[in-house]
Amino acid sequence: MSSNVGFRQVGEFIPQRQMIRSVRNPLDQATIVSIFPKEINEVKETIQPGKFHIPKGSYEEPAVVTVGPSSWWRDIDVDQPMLEITNSAVVIAQSIIVDYSNGLLGCDMGSSMPGLFFIAGEVSKLDVILKYKMKLAEAKVKQDNWYRILAKIADSLWARSNGNPLVIWDEMRLAAQELGLDSKPWIKDFQSIELIRCFACGVLRNPDFPICSACRVIDSNHPLAKGLKFATQQQ
């Protein structure tokens, strides 16, 4: 009897492992509800199916996506099919929301987070609007709290960076728009603005402002430079 039974030789062809999926329970479903006005594409490489798309929604027109169970496979033996480990639809729905939201700036997964939640079972948008008003209202409160935190952080970053548009996150501008804070100077789309280098220190700066935020040198050619007045220190 050969002593190499159960072992493969170096360079030997290894056949593709068989993955046999179990029969799905048609009642194992969950509905993700979003009032977040931005599309979400969540990808989980270790499970199948593992790609999930949630359209943007609003409090008045929430987006709903129904998900089912997903599976991952455990390797138990090289000569046996992979063992399927199934996660229920509720677990998948919760994982999608937590994995996307957790770690976002200003999000605490409690009173401050994007307007996302899930409902066990398949639920239509009309059912969500009519039967889950409390959940929608709760999601809006949490999302508005998150927006306010982002707006405060944006104010601080804008002031500290001397109006550098690169420090403002897209979600911060979204938050200001949703809260009606149209007067915020950083709410504008700054993608078309080109930063210029300071002639004194070489740091990129916003050309809309006459003072470099790094070295504090004043650009005398800037139209706002002539109107600058600084308080002198008393001796």
Report pTM. Answer: 0.72
What are the tens digits of pLDDT across the range 13-23? 545 566 667 77
Q: What are phi and psi of 69, to 5 degrees?
A: -75, 155
CA nearest neighbour of 204 among 166, 157, 231: 166
Site of tokens 């639809």: 89
Q: For 128-170, what is each residue's pLDDT tens digit?
A: 999 999 999 999 999 999 999 999 999 999 988 878 888 898 8
